[in-house]
A = this chain, B = another copy of it.
């Protein structure tokens, strides 16, 4: 089975267990004649894909009663991959969602690490700079880099822990978050896993 996750900058592929990535500008779906299951958040690519009968939109298998209409497609996929747990997708935004017995419990959206750091810098040159990921989030800060790191990360990490276990972490900043969330499972394939589960359900219908 061939799976494809099309974002606004990158396209992720799984071709029967082999993974690859290509820049969306170098990607021409018409070059592929085999059956491809896809999710796509890129409006321009979506318009092209709808004209290609071998490209199957996995969103048509989503049971929308479980989610909400404006929820991001990748976010639904990572939820579909997990029956029980807290799912943290740490990308440009950080989405945190809870699944219990296959039922979506809700979630929240935090700013991504880069976005938050840029926002501090925009507030004041004195607050510009990178987070200090070595800082101990359990103690109060007594210098500026630690104060912004603790200010952004401690509330978020404690809130994620409050939501229960197990915790799954995916996305571009998954390694940073897994270092802060002991016992968290890093799984960068959650979108593909969710797609496969949805396709399986769709084929049973």
Q: Which residues of A contact B (CB under 8 A)?
A: 68, 70-71, 92-94, 96-98, 104-112, 115-116, 118-120, 122-124, 126-127, 139-144, 147-148, 150-152, 154-156, 158-159, 162
Q: Do B141 and A93 have beta carbons less than 8 Å apart?
A: no
Given contacts A115-B119, A155-B156, contact A140 B108 (CB under 8 A): yes
Cβ 8 A contact of A120, one of B105, B111, B123, B143: B111
Q: Given the complex, which residues of B lie within 8 Å of A154, measured CB to CB?
A: 108, 159
Complex Cα distance A105/B138, Å?
A: 12
Given contacts A140-B98, A155-B156, contact A147 B109 (CB under 8 A): yes
Q: Given the complex, which residues of B lie within 8 Å of A110, measured CB to CB?
A: 151-152, 155
Q: Do A107 and B140 have beta carbons less than 8 Å apart?
A: yes
Q: Do A140 and B105 have beta carbons less than 8 Å apart?
A: yes
Cβ 8 A contact of A155, one of B97, B119, B142, B159: B159
Nearest residue (CB) in B for A122 is B115
Chain B's nearest CB lies how many Å from the CB of A140? 3
Complex Cα distance A148/B96, Å?
A: 11
Complex Cα distance A159/B127, Å?
A: 21
Chain B's nearest CB lies how many Å from the CB of A44? 16
Complex Cα distance A158/B154, Å?
A: 11
A-B contact pairs, 5 of them (CB 8 A): A107-B140, A108-B150, A109-B151, A111-B119, A116-B119
Q: Given the complex, which residues of B lie within 8 Å of A106, measured CB to CB?
A: 139-142
